[in-house]
Amino acid sequence: MFARSRLGMVGLLMLLVFVVMALTAPGLTSAGILQNPNRQNLSDRFEGPSSDYWFGTDQLGRDLFSRLWWGAQASLLIGFAATAIIMVLGSLIGLVSGYYGGWIDEILMRVTDFFLVVPFLLLVLILAATVPPPGTSISKVVLVIGISLWAFTARLVRSQVLSLKERQFVERARSAGAGDFRIMIRHIFPNAFTLVFAEAILTVAVVILLESFLSFIGIAPADMITWGKTLQEAYVWSATETGLLVWVLMPGLYIVALVLGFTLLGFALDELVNPRLRRR
């Protein structure tokens, strides 16, 4: 049972905190409990933590506590949306490749291998420059990450399909006149779904970490506040040299905590669906 996994429950509670932050940000800002994260006050630039600014202010006098609270929205949205693309694309390619085999499997796996061996940063830079529209929006960041990371999921699903398609229940469905599409969707994929779901939770953690890295190097959604962008601004404005350590420390802690929450939850779910892990 999942409830017996202490690490899984800790991860779930950590994630709930960030989900609450993401959902309450607009309401708390409207009620005046959180300051407007985009309100600039140049007279209060580079302020340290105080009763007015709990985490201090940035180079434009914006409240860092409010900006980090709002940053949970971008991290969760990008994490879930990009993971959905990764799972759908990877599952589809892995399902078709493993089920049909032959030249279809050969072609799809060579394409998969290409995405596995190309350096991720190089691939992201190419996609960011070529995927429309120009500029960097949250939808573009989601699409770039999704296209870049589906290959491992395809390999995982293919390995499951290769085993499942030889099972007796598939032969029975085929004998009953079920077509290939029905067999893949109704009989094979549901049996592989639990493993795909556990992999999806771990993938969200990877996506959030990559989004933060991309934001730090300048490939950030211009229409949302992200923790990686906050870190990048702290680096550009030499926050550590000016004594504003909280400007660097808190975004990093938020990223680590959110990634750790998904990782703990993912490992707990993986133990439930993988008997070999349960026996350890």
Q: What is the pLDDT of residues 181-201, one digit of tens each?
A: 888 888 888 888 878 888 888
**pLDDT above 70 (res 278):** no
Which pLDDT does position 133 carry in this prediction?
Answer: 65
**pLDDT above 50 (res 49):** yes
Residue 63 has phi, psi (to 5 degrees) of: -70, 115
Q: Quote the mean pLDDT of the chain.
A: 85
In this prediction the pTM is 0.88
For residue 29, give Cα distances in angstroms to 20, 63, 77: 14, 12, 19
Residue 148 domain-assigned (yes or no): yes
Report d(CA 169, CA 185) in Å as an integer: 14
Look at the chain and report how many structural domains it folds into.
Answer: 1
Confidence of residue 277 (pLDDT cuts 50, 70, 90): very low
**pLDDT above 80 (res 242):** no
Residue-wise DSSP of 129-189: HHSSSSS--HHHHHHHHHHHS-HHHHHHHHHHHHHHTTSHHHHHHHHTT--HHHIIIIIIH
Residue 90 domain-assigned (yes or no): yes
Which pLDDT does position 41 carry in this prediction?
Answer: 86
Which pLDDT does position 279 carry in this prediction?
Answer: 46
User: Residue 197's CB: how many other CB atoms inside 10 A?
Assistant: 14
Amino acid occupying residue 154? A
Here the tokens at position 202 are: 């771990």
Which pLDDT does position 112 carry in this prediction?
Answer: 93
Residue 243 domain-assigned (yes or no): yes
Residue 152 domain-assigned (yes or no): yes
Residue 31 domain-assigned (yes or no): no
Higher pLDDT, 34 or 132: 34
Residue 130 domain-assigned (yes or no): yes
Nearest Cα to 150, choosing from 217, 101, 199? Answer: 199
Which pLDDT does position 13 carry in this prediction?
Answer: 93
Report d(CA 153, CA 156) in Å as an integer: 5
pLDDT tens track for 93-152: 999 998 888 889 999 999 999 998 888 888 888 887 787 766 677 888 888 899 989 999
Residue 155 domain-assigned (yes or no): yes
Mark residue 225 as left, alpha or beta (left: phi above 0; alpha: psi -120 to 50; beta: remaining). beta
Here the tokens at position 55 are: 């985490």
Determine which of 81-85, 100-104, 242-246, 263-267 has the lowest per-residue pLDDT on average. 242-246
- CATH for 75: 1.10.3720.10
CA dihedral 157, 106, 150, 167 (to 10 degrees): -10
pLDDT tens track for 201-230: 889 988 998 888 888 887 777 778 889 888
Residue 95 domain-assigned (yes or no): yes
- The parent domain of residue 99 ranges over 2-12+62-278
Which pLDDT does position 193 carry in this prediction?
Answer: 83
The string over 17-34, giving b where at least 16 C-beta atoms fall within 10 Å of a residue's C-beta and e elsewhere, is ebeebbeebeebbeeeeb
Which pLDDT does position 69 carry in this prediction?
Answer: 94
